[in-house]
Amino acid sequence: MLSGQLQIIDADIDDLERSEGLKFDEQRRNILKSMGSIDVQACPGSGKTTLIAAKLILLAEKWAHQDRGICVLSHTNAAKNEIISRLQNSKFNEAQRLLSYPHFIGTIQEFAGKFVAFPSLRSDGISINVVDDGICVSQIERKLKHKTKLYLEKKGGVPESLFGFKLIFVDGNYQFQVPGFKKESQSASYQDLVTVRTNLISEGYLFFQDVFAIAMSEAKQNSLLTSSLRQRFSRLFVDEMQDTQAHQDELINQIFYSADNSTSIQRFGDPDQAIFNGIGGGEAPNTSYNERSQEDMFEVINHSHRFGSILANIAKAFSHNEIALTSGWDAERQEAQVGVCAKEGFNPTIFLYNDASLTHVVKSFGDVVQEQFERDELKKIRAVAVGGVGKPVVDPQKDLSISSYWPAFDNQKSKANPAFENFCDAVRYCQSLPPNGYHRGYDILIDTTLKVLRSIGQTDLDGKHFSRKSFDTWLTDNGKRDDFRKILFACLAKSGVLTEQNWNNLSKVACKILSIDLEDAVISSFFIYSNAAKDLSASNKELENIYCHQSGLNIELSTIHRVKGQTHDATLILETKHHCFDVQAMLPHFMQERPTAENKNCDLRAEPHHNAADKANKKFLRLMYVATSRPRHLVCLAMHEDRVSEDDCKVLEANGWQIKEVEVPNA
């Protein structure tokens, strides 16, 4: 019904190309011109975000409604912010209209709260205080009776077990999944847990999952609400669809799908990269999109601008939908790679190690990167060693994880969210970041400031904990934004030594700007001076899971799940074990022997099994697809020499891999 109301033609796209410096092929033009409900599969490095932003700009130019808008949903803040940034930087003034009413660009979590759950709670007299699992767990732990805590310590620990304290909406009723109990109980501990949790919701403290449970209840029972949302948003775009969880997808469907097709729904993603399948107890992704074949898609974008034909050929073997992944590099891009490479071309490399040389694999990777990249490029490039399993090794004879290769690896360390005991430690950490880490340092100091304000109960005018946005608004409204930014810039400056006197002066000014009392015990503990002897810079590399190669190259170590969406220059895939060895299980794909007409990827078993005769499986398939499609230039593997035969090595070499044995350096 909606497809005839708006029309995008080639002339519109031509204008956009000239203005934004873009180029769209026929396939992408078909997507830009499509006005109906469609599903699109976009391969890694295909420019999906650019395409979505371009379509939004084209629609904004023609949008005439004053009270009906476009809704754009993503799974992560990163994807949301990238789309917003593209619109903000567009040369089309009309693009700015999409950043305000009647339009909405945000995460699915934000949408569920703002338009469905929060209005319902407010109508019941509940003011939203905070949506955060960690803060809720802290509140619950603080309010539980001592005997309840003792009980939970025996059932998984406190606070660990409390993170699974879910509110769900099932068969028309709310239910708590109470930690330590498999069913409802009249015990004192059970009643204490339920009472504390219920009171917490009444006080406006919500887990992320609570928002979806409340939203689903409202969406299923309030047809007037869902009808008004479809009336408000006549067009819906969903990005990162492969990561959208089942309960999120169910909520979207409950709200936007209707018999009259009043909302045009366009979903973008890549089912081949759907690797977040219930990991860590989380819910599995949706099936409405992820189980669609390439024949079910409106378009499958299989040209990647990330890598050349060699890497495209390696990665395509792991495509679940068996898309014909190709390189979209033109002659200019090919020439640019030549300038980066120290040789005639990059050679994919397989490192074969034995029990004695296992811990020297990462160094060997650094050696090959040093050999294959121009010397001037080494400090610019991003080299990452990834593995499917990041948990600690319990039994070295049975387990194989990233820490088997580099014992200092800790999967709990997060580059994105380092935590600090005090503000001075955060400043020292930020000052030690590389030059390209300036923006990250700024974000860390903002987050640390918000942590200080939360700890003392400082809130915005609505009585809520400050978010980055509301904090920035508060600073601006009070004429303090420029002064506070100067403080942060001073903290980030790398020149000079952070003496105790300098720090005390900075702390006094910062507290004055924030209208907080430095004499307060809690605040003073946050602003205490951290002696230079405790400087974090010496341990930053270990803190961030970074191996320092002798060439000056920094090699990051991470799980495959954490690097999804990233682009590297060189990637090493470390063989790990989850029931069976992942690289060994998928070796036929690396050897280009699979998939075939008789052995399709979609027919593989879903999960790995140690007793299966054919150990290839969809879980490992998708992990290898994500891993092999991260690098621009060089991909490498590491596996035990006992798990690959001489004949296998010959086939691999015939397919362009070079084989290197990892040696133990002389003492």
DSSP for 393-432, please give it: PS-TTT---HHHH-TT--TT--SS----SSHHHHHHHHHT
How is residue 330 written in tokens? Answer: 């033109």
Contact 636, 349 (CB under 8 A): yes
Contact 204, 130 (CB under 8 A): yes
Residue 213 resides in a domain: no
Same domain for 498 and 551, yes or no, is: no
Q: Looking at residue 437, what is its pLDDT? A: 56
Q: Is 442 helix (H, G, I), strand (E, B) or coil?
A: helix
Residue 54 resides in a domain: yes
In angstroms, the CA 156 to CA 579 distance is 24
Same domain for 6 and 83, yes or no, is: yes
Q: Looking at residue 434, what is its pLDDT? A: 58
Same domain for 12 and 57, yes or no, is: yes
How is residue 201 written in tokens? Answer: 């919701």
In angstroms, the CA 542 to CA 596 distance is 43
With a cut of 50, which residues of the chain have pLDDT below it? 1-4, 279-281, 414-415, 436, 533-540, 542
Residue 122 resides in a domain: no
How is residue 247 written in tokens? Answer: 């309960």
Indicate the DSSP class of residue 341: B
Statement: the pTM of the whole predicted model exceeds 0.85: no
Residue 211 resides in a domain: no
Q: What's the domain range around 75?
A: 2-113+222-301
Residue 402 resides in a domain: yes
Contact 44, 302 (CB under 8 A): no
Domain boundary among 301, 328, 360: 301
Domain boundary among 539, 562, 584: 539
Domain boundary among 272, 301, 330: 301
Same domain for 394 and 366, yes or no, is: yes
Same domain for 158 and 233, yes or no, is: no
Q: Which stretches of 559-617 are DSSP H helices? A: 560-563, 582-585, 587-590
Give the residue carrying structure tokens 């310590």: 153
Residue 178 resides in a domain: yes
Same domain for 390 and 259, yes or no, is: no
Same domain for 553 and 528, yes or no, is: no
How is residue 610 written in tokens? Answer: 């140690």
Same domain for 167 and 233, yes or no, is: no
Contact 328, 303 (CB under 8 A): yes
566-569 CB contacts, 8 Å cutoff, 24+ apart: 566/384, 566/630, 567/45, 567/306, 567/382, 567/630, 567/631, 567/632, 568/382, 568/383, 568/384, 568/630, 568/631, 568/632, 569/340, 569/373, 569/377, 569/381, 569/382, 569/383, 569/631, 569/632, 569/633, 569/634
Q: Looking at residue 368, what is its pLDDT? A: 98
Residue 125 resides in a domain: no
Same domain for 559 and 647, yes or no, is: yes
In angstroms, the CA 186 to CA 618 distance is 44
Same domain for 234 and 371, yes or no, is: no
Same domain for 296 and 429, yes or no, is: no
Q: Looking at residue 105, what is its pLDDT? A: 97
Ramachandran angles phi, psi of 257, nearest 5°:
-85, 130
Q: Looking at residue 456, what is its pLDDT? A: 80
Q: Into how many domains does the chain fold?
A: 4
* 519: number of Cβ within 10 Å: 8
Residue 126 resides in a domain: no
Contact 117, 126 (CB under 8 A): no
Q: Looking at residue 438, what is its pLDDT? A: 59
Say which residues have a Cβ less than 8 Å from residue 358's Cβ, sequence separation at least 6: 404, 405, 640, 662
Measured in whole angstroms, the distance separating CA 358 from the mean position of its chain's CA atoms is 29
Same domain for 649 and 601, yes or no, is: yes
Q: Beta strands 349-353 and 631-640: pairing type?
A: parallel
Contact 401, 390 (CB under 8 A): yes
Q: Looking at residue 287, what is its pLDDT? A: 94
Give the CATH number for residue 24: 3.40.50.300
In angstroms, the CA 115 to CA 236 distance is 14
Ramachandran angles phi, psi of 241, nearest 5°:
-60, -30
